[in-house]
């Protein structure tokens, strides 16, 4: 795409490791995308616009290249909300994979219109037919086949656009020949079935489109020959614009051989909506769970049009990525949702509640950067030099740099939902200088990727890094080795266990009466701990039962003073300090020093004059920490602390012949349980779409494949829940059984109690 739009002068190749968007050394080494990259280009080219029959102007396209590996799911999820449309790339050999289904579901949840591009049709075993049927059965969308592959015997040489009735054939990246009318008939002289297939495909496309678009339905019922190519394109655009995923335009290609990329770029312009055609942005006011449309929010806080206050807000932008650029330093990638963001405006961060002074605005072509004066509504760019911005923050600027009005200070554009970590590793720096350097780099990395968490054990000096999976942490360690010159010892990647209460603990009372930071003071507080499950139903009925923190529910009770008595401290500050003390105490459990979760903690502070003596914030947090730690120790002494482990939802695709062995390994060897076994052949898959009515063009080798061959290569999908510890190296074990002919994806499902012999082993 970058080559054809003129951004680069050579084509990068994942296999050769010289791509533009995958510019991290590790991305090139492994041939995968790890970080999302944002690039701006224009399409169609100006010379193509001049020769176009109707007035066409180049469009600005902001391309976000996101990772495909499941360990980087969070990276994809945080980029999805800022998109106006998406191209979902399917490997025609593997078909729709489990991870594709998960990301597709996220896109549908956010109502993002999608086009499917079936890639790698030049590979052995590629099947356009299977991919189309799997879009229907597994992604549950009606396939609108807009192109069919151009095969010469079993060679993939180009694509035939069934809407414009034009064939495109490529000899090299610059040598593309178009065939229309008689020229196409001559080019397909030895392959009449393909010409017939083109007409069949067009008819089936119109039939399918008529189900979703009234204008096409009317024309189709009266006289289908009157339906122009332009009318079909406009109907497809209208059909997919709302992002329900009910209809899916499908295109074909082989990017490695440059086949089909330019028609895909045309399809992006023709079918995917521009920012002003998308539903209005929903925003939150602070931590409120209720969302409202941006226009309603602005009208409520800025007055109606015509009033002077209306223009107080100059821009609203969302930070969707923070990235340490090799030349430019820390960059905060933003999408502008309202107004214009100017390079010299100081944005207000509504999450960290600070105002910052940026050092400039940039538009990025991966490793190349270009300074710009302004980013207008719908555009994507990067702000340079912001010190506090994290992924998921919302930035606002005001006209003439005035202070942000109180009502607008807490506006949030989709705060990020960060999933729990499942793996960790310990790091030991050699000396204080190495520790400071490591702390700085870890802080930068967690700003870039909030799903990467870290903490430091003050006693041992060890750093603990937590992440979403084995590959996620491997990549983080690789980046640390590149960034840190000092000596750091990295431990092995291990499973992130948690601890839980199996029965109630307390009530336990503590008298905290000692100086903190040189100031004397006294606090008496009582803690009662119970498993959260016992309280869950009550919490549904009484939402004031506490605050959710790190998987626990904390309820702080400050007893009312006696009649006529006055509290000699700020109750809100005391509540916050008590919460901090509880969170710190729950971070290290009594059995394995793992975090404790799934608890309901009730903390009661005695506010009678005899019990309180000029307490400071440190006394409140110290008392809360001490009482919760002692309660946990008592629970452990009476064997009421259990261990939780992460359970993964695993999808394994493997040949039918070895499926029995794989099932046995999951059930007996890994302590997991199989949920279901699906036949992965596309025709047999269920779903909401009637596959007998779906049009999918035949593959060139369909007629010569014998039934025996079909049976022997049948692939089944095993869906199972397996403890994460058992699947850390499961991929390697599968490789020996399947001869490498398997696929495996997994995602965090839940935490479950470890019992029996496995608990003794721990």
Q: Which residue has the higher pLDDT, 506 or 375?
A: 375
pLDDT tens digits along 219-245: 988 888 889 999 999 999 999 998 888
User: According to the model, what pLDDT value does residue 49 have?
Assistant: 82
9 within some domain:
no
For residue 756, CA distances in Å to 455, 501, 657, 761 come to: 31, 17, 33, 9
151 and 180 share one domain: yes
User: According to the model, what pLDDT value does residue 311 have?
Assistant: 47
Q: Is residue 568 a contact partner of residue 614, using CB atoms and an 8 Å limit?
A: yes
The CATH number of the domain where 286 resides is what? 2.40.30.10
The CATH number of the domain where 734 resides is what? 3.30.70.240
The CATH number of the domain where 517 resides is what? 3.30.230
pLDDT band at 643; cut points 50, 70, 90: very high
For residue 665, CA distances in Å to 433, 542, 654, 671, 727 come to: 47, 45, 13, 9, 11
Q: Is residue 676 a contact partner of residue 719, using CB atoms and an 8 Å limit?
A: yes
Find all residues with CB under 8 Å of 647, minimum gap 6, and list them: 721, 722, 723, 724, 748, 749, 750, 751, 752
Q: Which of 43-52, 414-423, 585-594 has the highest mean pLDDT?
A: 585-594
Q: Which residues of 388-409 are buried (b: 16+ CB within 10 A; e: fewer)?
A: ebbbbbbbbbbeeeeebeeebe
246 and 300 share one domain: no
How remote is the C-alpha of 381 from its chain's centroid?
19
455 and 508 share one domain: no
140 within some domain:
yes
397 and 479 share one domain: no
Q: Is residue 74 a contact partner of residue 468, using CB atoms and an 8 Å limit?
A: yes
Could you list the beta-strand ranges (E) of 656-728: 673-679, 715-723
Burial zone of 138 (CB within 10 Å; 0-12 exposed, 13-18 middle, 19+ buried): buried
Q: Is residue 114 a contact partner of residue 164, using CB atoms and an 8 Å limit?
A: no
Q: Is residue 721 a contact partner of residue 749, using CB atoms and an 8 Å limit?
A: yes
Q: What is the mean pLDDT of residues 648-672?
A: 86
180 and 91 share one domain: yes
Find all residues with CB under 8 Å of 279, minimum gap 6, and list them: 111, 242
What CA–CA distance (Å, rounded) separates 154 from 131?
A: 17
233 and 292 share one domain: no
pLDDT tens digits along 66-120: 776 666 666 777 788 889 999 999 999 988 887 788 889 889 988 999 999 999 9
Boundary residue ending a domain (478, 495, 512): 495
Q: What sign for the dihedral angle of Cα 544, 550, 552, 557?
A: negative
Boundary residue ending a domain (251, 272, 293): 272
pLDDT band at 539; cut points 50, 70, 90: very low
In three-state secondary structure terms, 189 is coil
pLDDT band at 279; cut points 50, 70, 90: confident
Q: Which residue has the higher pLDDT, 541 or 705?
A: 705
What CA–CA distance (Å, rounded) separates 146 from 132?
A: 11
627 and 515 share one domain: yes
| Listed residue (49, 86, 46) closest to 64, CA to CA | 86
Q: Name the percent of the chain lying above pLDDT 70.
A: 87
Q: Which of 58-72, 179-193, 277-291, 681-695 has the lowest mean pLDDT?
A: 681-695
For residue 306, pLDDT beyond 70? no
User: According to the model, what pLDDT value does residue 29 have?
Assistant: 55
For residue 209, pLDDT beyond 70? yes
Kindly tell me the number of DSSP H helices and DSSP E strands found in the chain: 21, 38
291 within some domain:
yes
What CA–CA distance (Å, rounded) separates 182 from 187?
A: 9
Q: Which residues of 247-261 are buried (b: 16+ CB within 10 A; e: fewer)?
A: bbbbbbbbbebbbbb
pLDDT band at 6; cut points 50, 70, 90: confident
The secondary structure of residue 421, as a DSSP letter, is P
What CA–CA distance (Å, rounded) separates 293 from 281?
A: 6
585 and 534 share one domain: yes
375 and 451 share one domain: no
3-state per-residue secondary structure call for 423-455: EEEEEEECCHHHHHHHHHHHHHHHHHCCCCEEE
User: According to the model, what pLDDT value does residue 201 have?
Assistant: 96
Q: Which residue has the higher pLDDT, 604 or 12?
A: 604
pLDDT tens digits along 46-76: 888 877 666 678 898 988 877 766 666 667 7
What CA–CA distance (Å, rounded) separates 127 from 145?
A: 14
| Listed residue (364, 241, 376) closest to 315, CA to CA | 376
Q: Which residue has the higher pLDDT, 353 or 16?
A: 353
Per the structure, how many domains does the chain have? Answer: 5
260 and 286 share one domain: no
312 and 379 share one domain: yes
52 within some domain:
no
29 within some domain:
no
The secondary structure of residue 95, as a DSSP letter, is B
Find all residues with CB under 8 Å of 55, minimum gap 6, and list them: none
Q: Is residue 380 a contact partner of residue 365, using CB atoms and an 8 Å limit?
A: no
Q: Which residues of 583-601 are buried (b: 16+ CB within 10 A; e: fewer)?
A: bebbebbbeeebbbbbbbb
What CA–CA distance (Å, rounded) separates 526 from 506?
A: 8
User: According to the model, what pLDDT value does residue 687 have?
Assistant: 56
For residue 441, CA distances in Å to 103, 382, 397, 435, 466 come to: 30, 21, 29, 10, 15
pLDDT tens digits along 463-502: 999 988 888 888 889 889 888 877 899 999 888 899 999 9
DSSP structure string for 601-621: EEEEE--STTT-BS--HHHHH
Q: What is the mean pLDDT of residues 432-453?
A: 88
167 DSSP β-pair partners: 160, 179
Q: Which residue has the higher pLDDT, 116 or 671?
A: 116
243 within some domain:
yes
User: According to the model, what pLDDT value does residue 54 have?
Assistant: 67
The H or E element spanning position 269 is helix 261-271
Boundary residue ending a domain (387, 412, 437): 412
2 within some domain:
no
Q: Which residue has the higher pLDDT, 168 or 716?
A: 168
Find all residues with CB under 8 Å of 726, minimum gap 6, and list them: 669, 670, 671, 672
392 within some domain:
yes
Q: What is the mean pLDDT of residues 156-163?
A: 95
pLDDT band at 326; cut points 50, 70, 90: confident
pLDDT band at 707; cut points 50, 70, 90: very low
User: According to the model, what pLDDT value does residue 224 have?
Assistant: 86
What CA–CA distance (Å, rounded) separates 39 from 19?
A: 13
Q: Is residue 38 a contact partner of residue 63, using CB atoms and an 8 Å limit?
A: yes
Strands 552-558 and 599-605: parallel
What CA–CA distance (Å, rounded) separates 45 from 57?
A: 9
Domain holding 400, by residue range, is: 282-412
For residue 40, pLDDT beyond 90? no
CA atoms within 13 A on the CB side of 192: 0
What CA–CA distance (Å, rounded) separates 137 from 104?
A: 13
User: According to the model, what pLDDT value does residue 540 have?
Assistant: 42
What CA–CA distance (Å, rounded) separates 362 from 335?
A: 12
The secondary structure of residue 259, as a DSSP letter, is B
For residue 305, pLDDT beyond 50? no
Q: What are phi and psi of 32, to 5 degrees?
A: -130, 165
What CA–CA distance (Å, rounded) separates 124 from 114?
A: 27
What CA–CA distance (Å, rounded) separates 39 from 500?
A: 46
3-state per-residue secondary structure call for 10-24: CCCCCCCCCCCCCCC
In three-state secondary structure terms, 239 is helix
Strands 423-429 and 505-512: unpaired
Q: Is residue 345 a contact partner of residue 401, using CB atoms and an 8 Å limit?
A: yes
The CATH number of the domain where 479 resides is what? 3.30.70.870
170 and 227 share one domain: yes
User: According to the model, what pLDDT value does residue 34 have?
Assistant: 41
Q: Which residues of 160-185 are buried (b: 16+ CB within 10 A; e: fewer)?
A: bbbbbbbbbbbeeeeebeebeeeebe
What CA–CA distance (Å, rounded) separates 134 from 104?
A: 13
Average pLDDT, the chain: 83
Q: Is residue 556 a contact partner of residue 575, using CB atoms and an 8 Å limit?
A: yes
In three-state secondary structure terms, 501 is strand
Q: Is residue 411 a contact partner of residue 352, using CB atoms and an 8 Å limit?
A: no
Q: What is the mean pLDDT of residues 608-620?
A: 82
What CA–CA distance (Å, rounded) separates 383 from 135?
A: 38
How remote is the C-alpha of 158 from its chain's centroid?
33
The CATH number of the domain where 260 resides is what? 3.40.50.300
Burial zone of 29 (CB within 10 Å; 0-12 exposed, 13-18 middle, 19+ buried): exposed
Q: Which residue has the higher pLDDT, 109 or 631?
A: 631
Stated pTM of the model: 0.72
User: According to the model, what pLDDT value does residue 542 have?
Assistant: 46
């Amino acid at each position: 795409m970058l080559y054809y739009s003129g951004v680069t002068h050579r084509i990068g190749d994942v296999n050769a490791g010289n791509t533009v968007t995958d510019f991290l050394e590790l991305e090139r080494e492994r041939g995968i995308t790890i970080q999302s990259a944002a690039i701006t280009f224009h399409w169609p080219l100006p010379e193509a616009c001049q020769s176009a029959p109707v007035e066409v102007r180049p469009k600005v396209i902001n391309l976000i290249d996101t990772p495909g590996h499941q360990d980087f799911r969070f990276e994809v999820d945080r980029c999805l909300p800022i998109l106006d449309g998406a191209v979902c790339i399917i490997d025609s050999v593997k078909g729709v994979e489990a991870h594709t289904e998960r990301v597709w579901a996220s896109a549908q949840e956010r109502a993002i219109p999608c086009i499917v591009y079936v890639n790698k049709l030049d590979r052995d075993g590629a099947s356009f037919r299977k991919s189309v049927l799997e879009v229907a059965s597994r992604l549950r969308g009606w396939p609108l086949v807009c192109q069919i592959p151009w095969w010469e015997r079993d060679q993939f040489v180009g694509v035939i656009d069934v809407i414009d009735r034009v064939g495109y054939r490529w000899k090299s990246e610059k040598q593309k020949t178009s065939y229309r009318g008689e020229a196409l008939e001559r080019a397909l002289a030895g392959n009449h079935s393909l010409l017939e297939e083109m007409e069949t495909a067009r008819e089936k496309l119109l039939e399918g489109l008529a189900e979703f678009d009234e204008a096409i339905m009317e024309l189709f019922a009266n006289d289908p020959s009157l339906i122009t190519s332009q009318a079909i394109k406009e109907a497809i655009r209208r059909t997919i614009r709302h992002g329900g995923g009910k209809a899916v335009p499908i295109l074909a290609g082989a990017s490695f051989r440059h086949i089909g990329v330019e028609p895909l770029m045309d399809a992006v312009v023709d079918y995917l909506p521009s920012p002003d055609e998308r539903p209005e942005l929903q925003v939150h006011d602070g931590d409120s769970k209720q969302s409202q449309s941006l226009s309603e929010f602005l009208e409520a806080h800025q007055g109606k049009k015509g009033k002077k206050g209306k223009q107080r807000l100059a821009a609203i932008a969302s930070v969707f990525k923070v990235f340490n650029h090799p030349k430019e330093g820390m960059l905060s990638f933003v999408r502008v949702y309202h107004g214009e963001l100017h390079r010299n405006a100081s944005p207000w961060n509504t999450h960290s509640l600070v105002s910052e002074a940026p050092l400039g605005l940039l538009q990025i072509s991966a490793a190349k950067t270009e300074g710009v004066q302004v980013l207008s509504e719908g555009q994507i760019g990067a702000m340079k030099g912001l010190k506090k911005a994290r992924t998921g923050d919302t930035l606002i600027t005001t006209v003439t740099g005035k202070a942000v009005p109180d009502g607008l200070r807490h506006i949030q554009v989709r705060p990020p939902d960060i999933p729990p970590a499942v793996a960790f590793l310990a790091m030991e720096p050699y000396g204080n200088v190495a520790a400071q350097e490591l702390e700085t780099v870890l802080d930068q990395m967690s700003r870039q990727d909030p799903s990467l968490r870290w903490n430091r054990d003050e006693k041992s000096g060890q750093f603990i890094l937590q992440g979403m999976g084995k590959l996620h942490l491997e990549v983080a360690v690789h980046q640390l080795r590149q960034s840190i010159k000092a000596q750091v010892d990295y431990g092995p990647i291990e499973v992130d266990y948690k601890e839980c209460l199996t029965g109630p603990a307390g009530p336990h009372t503590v008298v905290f009466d000692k100086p903190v930071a040189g100031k004397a003071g006294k606090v008496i507080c009582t803690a009662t701990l119970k498993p959260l499950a016992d309280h869950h139903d009550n919490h549904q009925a009484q939402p004031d039962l506490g605050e959710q923190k790190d998987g626990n529910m904390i309820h702080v009770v400050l007893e009312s003073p006696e009649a006529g008595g006055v509290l000699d401290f700020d109750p809100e500050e005391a509540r916050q300090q008590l919460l901090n003390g509880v969170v710190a105490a729950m971070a290290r459990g009594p059995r394995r020093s793992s975090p404790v979760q799934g608890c309901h903690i009730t903390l009661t502070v005695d506010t009678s004059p005899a019990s309180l003596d000029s307490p400071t914030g440190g006394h409140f947090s110290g008392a809360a920490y001490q009482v919760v730690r002692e309660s946990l120790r008592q629970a452990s002494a009476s064997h009421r602390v259990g261990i939780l482990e992460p359970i993964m939802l695993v999808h394994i695709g493997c040949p039918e012949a070895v499926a029995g062995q794989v099932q046995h390994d999951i059930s007996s060897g890994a302590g997991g349980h199989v949920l279901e076994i699906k036949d992965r052949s596309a025709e047999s898959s269920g779903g909401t779409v009637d596959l007998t009515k779906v049009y999918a063009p035949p593959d060139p080798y369909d007629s010569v494949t014998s039934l025996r061959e079909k049976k022997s290569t049948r692939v089944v999908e095993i869906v199972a829940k397996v403890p994460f510890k058992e699947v850390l190296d499961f991929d390697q074990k599968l490789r020996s059984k399947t001869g490498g002919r398997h696929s495996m994806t997994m995602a965090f499902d839940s935490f479950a109690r470890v019992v029996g012999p496995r608990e003794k082993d721990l």
